[in-house]
Homo-oligomer: A and B are copies of this chain.
Amino acid sequence: MSSYIEPKVLKGFRDFLPDAEIVRRSLTENIENTFRSFGFVPIDTPAIEYTEILLGKGGGETEKQIYRFKDNGERDIALRFDLTVPFARFTAMHKTELTFPFKRYHIGKVWRGENTQRGRYREFTQCDFDIIGSDSLSADFEIILLIYTTMKNLGVDVTIHVNHRGLFNRFLSHIGQSEKSVEILRAVDKLGKIGEDETLKSITELTGEENAKKILEFISAKGGFSQTLERLTELSGGSCPEAQRLTSLRQCMAEAIGCDKSDPFVLNPSITRGLDYYTGVVFETFLNELPDIGSICSGGRYDNLAGLYSKSKESISGVGTSIGLDRMIAALEALNKLPAAQSCLVAIACVNIEDSGKYQALAQKLRQAEIPCEVFTEDCDEKQIVKQFILAEKKGMRYVLIPGENPSSSPVTLRDLSARQNIELSIDEAINKLKNILR
């Protein structure tokens, strides 16, 4: 046939087969349950928006990676490349319909035409969560606690590195370098990637050698949280609101989690987050058992989320972060901590196709008892029943229920696939047995 089309997917895009998709859904559900337990509520926005809105004042890298095109009405539109920009637009549009402080999460796919050679995907899922309409310390802390709890509930321990962007600015001002703060922040943000020597070199170009050394001293301060904070405060010219906030944050951490034995919170003055819009507390999150993959959840406090889309002068500040689901799954897989893909527990064998209705009636009894149950659709004679055992095993099931002569009332045979044993039971006994296994 000449109309054959080769089946393939685009580079950087993926199919999810059942086992992978079951695991993805169970992890998403786990994350979502944690968000909901903190009173966060979900929103959703369109996959496609006006390009003007998505690019905003952006450009640069984003503009190169965005999937942008014209629709049939010649509108310039694009696929969302993150969930932050749509949230800013959403907030400006629906301000009067929301109750502030507004705690929302958003789990959705985003698209970027990234270089796939670096093992990146062009379609991936983000889980964003933010509190907006609050300047409160309590909001800063809640986001950090929510990261900690979400990871705990996924079965991993993390260390969260915290800093305050304003404290660093105050320090720069103290040494007379506040004008170049944006450039310096960007250079500092690369410390982890390029090392101290290279960082010192690039800062020296910006500020001269003496200042560069002071800056490096500041960002290299190490030790316990309180000890580091004391040093940073001193270097910045003494007590200030930013240092005070970090002190209070530390107190919250101690009270809510206890930071004695293995402290999950580190004050790390080299964390600045390259993005210009952070203004307060910033943080990065590292897996204790797999720190080398880098931060799996970064974010911070920003001053004016929806400013670009608002005519009013009133700004909405907030604090928030994002978990990359695909990266998180890869990490859990590397740590052997992915949940098992849960299959259906039991199949009802098909001995006589004419009894299909009765098999389904029997299956409905199991389903009503909350036992997931597949009915096999191809019949076989009694000698071939082993074929159905093999099929059930392939599908990851643990039991096959072989209906009796009268499928609605006769005793059934329950085949334990791993033990390779059959037992004869009444229908009610079989249901009870299977229920107990699921418990």
Binds B, one of A205-213, A232-240, A249-257: A249-257
Kindly list chain B residues whose C-beta atoms are within 8 Å of the C-beta of A69.
67, 69-70
Kindly list chain B residues whose C-beta atoms are within 8 Å of the C-beta of A286.
none
Count of identical protomers in the assembly: 2
A-B contact pairs, 22 of them (CB 8 A): A1-B307, A4-B309, A4-B311, A7-B92, A10-B77, A15-B93, A17-B43, A18-B42, A36-B372, A37-B370, A38-B373, A39-B344, A39-B347, A47-B79, A99-B394, A101-B376, A101-B378, A136-B353, A136-B377, A138-B379, A248-B356, A255-B358
Contact of A375 among B77, B97, B142 (CB under 8 A): B142
- Asked whether, in the complex, the Cβ of A357 is within 8 Å of the Cβ of B251, the reply is yes
Query: A215 within 8 Å of B by Cβ?
Result: no
- Asked whether, in the complex, the Cβ of B136 is within 8 Å of the Cβ of A378, the reply is yes
At the interface, is chain A mostly helix, strand, loop or mixed? mixed
Query: A383 within 8 Å of B by Cβ?
Result: no
Closest residue to A9 on the B side, CB-wise?
Answer: B46
Kindly list chain B residues whose C-beta atoms are within 8 Å of the C-beta of A36.
344, 372
**Which 5 A-B pairs rank lowest in CB-CB distance, beginning with the nearest?**
A39-B374, A255-B357, A252-B357, A69-B69, A18-B41
Assess A5 versus B374: contact at CB under 8 Å? Given A18-B42, A357-B141. no
Residue interface bits A336-378, CB-to-B below 8 A is 1, else 0: 0000000110010010011111111101100100101111111
What separation, in Å, do the CA atoms of A93 and B377 have in the docked complex?
Answer: 24
Interfacial residues of chain A within 101-146, with CB under 8 A of chain B in the complex:
101, 103-104, 109, 111, 113, 123, 131, 134, 136-139, 141-142, 145
Assess A139 versus B9: contact at CB under 8 Å? Given A46-B14, A311-B4. no
- Asked whether, in the complex, the Cβ of A101 is within 8 Å of the Cβ of B377, the reply is yes
Kindly list chain B residues whose C-beta atoms are within 8 Å of the C-beta of A44.
15-16, 21, 24
- Asked whether, in the complex, the Cβ of A15 is within 8 Å of the Cβ of B256, the reply is no
Cβ distance A381 to chain B, nearest Cβ, rounded Å: 15
Assess A308 versus B9: contact at CB under 8 Å? Given A36-B372, A248-B354, A252-B357. no
Kindly list chain B residues whose C-beta atoms are within 8 Å of the C-beta of A94.
15, 17
- Asked whether, in the complex, the Cβ of A46 is within 8 Å of the Cβ of B367, the reply is no
Interface size band for A: 35 or more
What separation, in Å, do the CA atoms of A4 and B313 have in the docked complex?
Answer: 11
What separation, in Å, do the CA atoms of A321 and B65 have in the docked complex?
Answer: 36
- Asked whether, in the complex, the Cβ of A46 is within 8 Å of the Cβ of B356, the reply is no
Kindly list chain B residues whose C-beta atoms are within 8 Å of the C-beta of A24.
44
Query: A25 within 8 Å of B by Cβ?
Result: yes
Kindly list chain B residues whose C-beta atoms are within 8 Å of the C-beta of A253.
357
Assess A308 versus B3: contact at CB under 8 Å? Given A17-B97, A71-B67. yes
Kindly list chain B residues whose C-beta atoms are within 8 Å of the C-beta of A75.
10
Query: A13 within 8 Å of B by Cβ?
Result: yes
Kindly list chain B residues whose C-beta atoms are within 8 Å of the C-beta of A1.
307
Closest residue to A99 on the B side, CB-wise?
Answer: B394
What separation, in Å, do the CA atoms of A148 and B98 have in the docked complex?
Answer: 38
Cβ distance A359 to chain B, nearest Cβ, rounded Å: 7
